[in-house]
């Protein structure tokens, strides 16, 4: 069975499990793997997919043989990954056939990249990756001893698939687990790609339902939103970035922190304003950045009035804009160096390096736009 054939077989197979679709089909989409497209004109507010709980893979469907081998409250994430790896993935079903291979995941998922390449991720992505690696390590901990035949790479693939294609599943049994671990796999619904806005997903005790958020032309792709995520988050948790993302933000700690004296850092620390400086797609520099830069342009009293009550000094605005703009200009030079290094690098696969370069180019563009805005806003 080829991936193309199995995609056509997927919806009929899912209908056999009680999944109801209306006006949609699965399709291969350039750069996004499989996805869901409109089969006919769809109106806003149409229910296009219903997945009954009977078709869902969740904590309740994990066999006792797996659950009993591990301590109580072992993560649902890990249990689902184990169930897939041990009991399902070898079966020739259309759903199994369309799941990305470890090789294709390696191209875009930083968790699977060489460490020299991981080290060149933007700060927030690197820190998310560290948390993800720690989660994976803890959730692999007892597994080799309990499931001796299971290969680490088979588990790793399933673990990432659970990470990137599950839905929030709050039931009486999952409510005692941390909310981020209340996960369930939904056939067909897991084919929706992400956009920063999209169709609505709701659930009750019987089924999940996906409803159109607007009208769609036949052939148009339908998305859902995985959340209000920045591109650094999407890259690490899902292995892609969006070209347009209203929730994107760019960390500029490396542009600001090296230019603050130890006294300034201490003052910012005291007010809880040290680090985590970001530029947002929609709003520009965040309030924390504004506070850090003003430290160098305001008197001590003026700065406290700004940090505590947001009182601005209009006469100093040009100086603030000029300083931030200079700090960002010099950071752009640093970004250029990272991009140049990646372009010359031979480590990892070219697709991995291309994706990382793309992210750094987005960051450079966002910073460049902010500089333009700062330079044209003269008081
Ligand atoms: C829930 S699955 C969606 C179906 C998936 N495209 C497939 O082929 O099975 C999530 C994965 O789809 C891909 N994806 C989702 N939204 C995307 C987008 N807007 N652009 C590129 N890839 C996307 C990523 O690989 C992500 O990890």
Half-sphere exposure of 220 (CA within 13 A, CB side): 14
Q: How far apart are CA 363 and CA 29, in angstroms?
A: 26
Q: List the pLDDT tens digit at each of the 379 positions of the chain.
A: 455 557 899 999 999 999 999 999 999 999 999 999 999 999 999 999 999 999 999 999 999 999 999 999 999 999 999 999 999 988 989 999 999 999 999 999 999 999 999 999 999 999 999 999 999 999 999 999 999 999 999 999 999 999 999 999 999 999 999 999 999 999 999 999 999 999 999 999 999 999 999 999 999 999 999 999 999 999 999 999 999 999 999 999 999 999 999 999 999 999 999 999 999 977 789 999 999 999 999 999 999 999 999 999 999 999 999 999 999 999 999 999 999 999 999 999 999 999 999 999 999 999 999 999 998 876 5
Strands (E), the chain: 20-21, 24-29, 33-38, 47-52, 166-168, 183-185, 193-203, 207-211, 221-224, 249-251, 278-280, 284-285
Residue having the nearest C-alpha atom to atom 1 of ligand 1: 165
Q: Is 238 touching ligand 1 by the criterion CB < 6 Å?
A: yes
Token code pair at residue 194:
């992400």
What's residue 284's pLDDT?
82
What's residue 242's pLDDT?
97
Atom of ligand 1 nearest to the CA of 33: 8
What's residue 134's pLDDT?
97
**Domains of the chain in sequence order:** 3-238 (3.90.1410.10), 249-376 (no CATH)
- Average pLDDT over the chain reads 95
Distance 156 CA to ligand 1 centre (A): 18
Q: Is 227 touching ligand 1 by the criterion CB < 6 Å?
A: no
Other C-beta atoms closer than 10 Å to the C-beta of 113 total 23
Distance 223 CA to ligand 1 centre (A): 10
264 neighbors 295 (Cβ within 8 angstroms): yes
Q: Is 247 touching ligand 1 by the criterion CB < 6 Å?
A: no
């Amino acid at each position: 069975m080829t991936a193309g054939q199995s995609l056509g077989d997927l919806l009929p197979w899912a209908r056999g499990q009680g999944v109801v679709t209306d006006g949609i089909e699965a399709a291969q989409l350039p750069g996004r793997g499989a996805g869901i497209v409109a089969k006919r004109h769809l109106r806003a507010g149409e229910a296009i997919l219903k997945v009954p709980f009977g078709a869902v893979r969740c904590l309740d469907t994990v066999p006792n043989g797996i659950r009993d081998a591990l301590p109580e409250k072992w993560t649902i994430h890990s249990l689902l990954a184990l169930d897939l790896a041990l009991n399902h993935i070898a079966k020739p079903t259309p759903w199994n056939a369309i799941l990305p291979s470890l090789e294709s995941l390696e191209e875009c998922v930083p968790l699977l990249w060489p460490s020299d390449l991981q080290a060149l991720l933007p700060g927030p992505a690197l820190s998310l990756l560290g948390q993800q690696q720690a989660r994976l390590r803890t959730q692999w901990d007892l597994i080799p001893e309990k499931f001796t035949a299971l290969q680490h790479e088979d588990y790793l693939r399933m673990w990432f698939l659970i990470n990137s294609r599950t839905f929030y599943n709050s039931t009486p049994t999952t409510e005692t687990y941390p909310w981020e671990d209340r996960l369930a796999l939904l056939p067909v619904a897991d084919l929706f790609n992400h956009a920063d806005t999209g169709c609505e997903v709701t659930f009750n005790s019987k089924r999940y339902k996906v409803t159109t958020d607007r009208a769609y032309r036949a052939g148009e792709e339908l998305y859902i939103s995985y959340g209000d995520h920045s591109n650094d988050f999407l890259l690490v948790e899902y292995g892609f970035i969006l070209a347009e993302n209203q929730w994107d933000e760019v960390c500029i700690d490396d542009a600001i922190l090296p230019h603050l004296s130890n006294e300034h850092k201490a003052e910012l620390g005291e007010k809880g304003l040290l680090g985590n400086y970001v530029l947002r797609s929609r709003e520009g520099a965040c309030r924390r950045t504004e506070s850090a830069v003003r430290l160098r342009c305001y008197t001590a009293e003026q700065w406290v009035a700004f940090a505590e009550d947001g009182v601005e000094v209009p006469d100093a605005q040009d100086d603030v804009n000029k300083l931030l703009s200079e700090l960002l200009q010099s950071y752009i030079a640093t970004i250029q160096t990272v991009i140049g290094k990646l372009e010359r690098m031979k480590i990892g696969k070219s697709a991995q390096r291309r994706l990382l370069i793309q992210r750094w180019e987005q960051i450079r563009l966002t910073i460049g736009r902010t500089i333009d805005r700062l330079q044209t806003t003269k008081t």
